[in-house]
Structure 1
């Protein structure tokens, strides 16, 4: 399952991502393309991205196959907040190559996007790369992720 969340600045781009996922879902046998929007449900300037990050992070942590996509203006706020949850590996991504590398090397389970700077086409390309790329399972990446888990356990 894919969980989406955004504040008011990410709202419009999130709507485009939902359309993309609906279209991608109809052409794919991949059941992991089911998605749920966890808010915001209108572009409310008084909302706080942290509230939507918490909802998405909690859902992602329920199942290792779950993924999250978060948006705010810069992407920085949602990325910082998401990474406060043990077990969440979020990356702020600006291009397709970083999306692929983040999935292959860091096995990210949350994609953070900067809605103010991404075109719709680039954002959808990044989302596609995030969803279509698998973790490499290379020993060096597994070792590094284990060290990150050790840090989480210390805190």
Structure 2
């Protein structure tokens, strides 16, 4: 059992390209004591837009039903770009285990994004385990996150 940072369910969503990886990560979450809110998609056969599923994840976070979310699409790019449109989302697209702890420690990322086409399932599980068990650091990193929260288009 890993150290859990939340008792709320983990929201998870994918487009059609990540259905198999989503199923595997849902099983991992359940085996490690996490509740799961499945925000879709459920079929590899019907092409869907990753943006729609990133919006579902953002809605779960905004409503406070989840503290963390996992988004999956082919490359991960569209899921991350869409999710980061919201000021309460700090989505990070990760490819390696080594990226997971700093994403949480330094950026307090609350959405893990994975590319189903470029991430081996076993690696994805290890990234998820590290992501969900690594706390954000304080000091200069907390100051950086506070500054990030204050940014908006008028800062340009």
TM-score, normalised to structure 1, is: 0.89
Contact 1:100/1:129, CA 8 A, preserved across alignment? yes
Once residues 63 and 154 of structure 1 are traced to their aligned partners in structure 2, the CA distance between those partners, rounded to angstroms, is 27
**Residues matched between the structures, number:** 147
Residue 150 of structure 1: aligned partner = 150
Closer, same or farther: CA 11–129 of 1 in aligned 2, 3 Å: same
Task: Tell me how far apart the structure 2 counterparts of residues 23 and 135 of structure 1 sit (CA, whole Å).
Answer: 24
8 Å contact from structure 1 (residues 7, 44) kept in 2: no
| 3-state DSSP of counterpart to 1:91 | strand
* Partner deviation per Cα, 1:6-46 (whole Å, 9 max, x = no partner): 00111110000011111111xxxxxxx21111000212442
Counterpart for residue 41 of structure 1: 42
2:12 aligns with 4
Considering only aligned residues, what root-mean-square deviation do their CA atoms show, in Å? 1.6
Post-superposition shift, 1:124? 0.3
Q: What is the match of residue 17 of structure 1?
A: 25
TM-score for both structures, normalised by structure 2 = 0.88
Q: Name the CA distance, whole Å, in 1 between partners of 2:119 and 2:28.
A: 15
| Partner in structure 1 of residue 106 of structure 2 | 105
Which 4+ residue blocks in structure 1 deviate beyond 6 angstroms? none
Extract unaligned runs of 5+ from structure 2.
1-8
Unaligned runs of 5+ in 1: 26-32
Q: Distance in 2 between matches of 1:87 and 1:80?
A: 14
DSSP-derived class of the 1:141 partner = helix
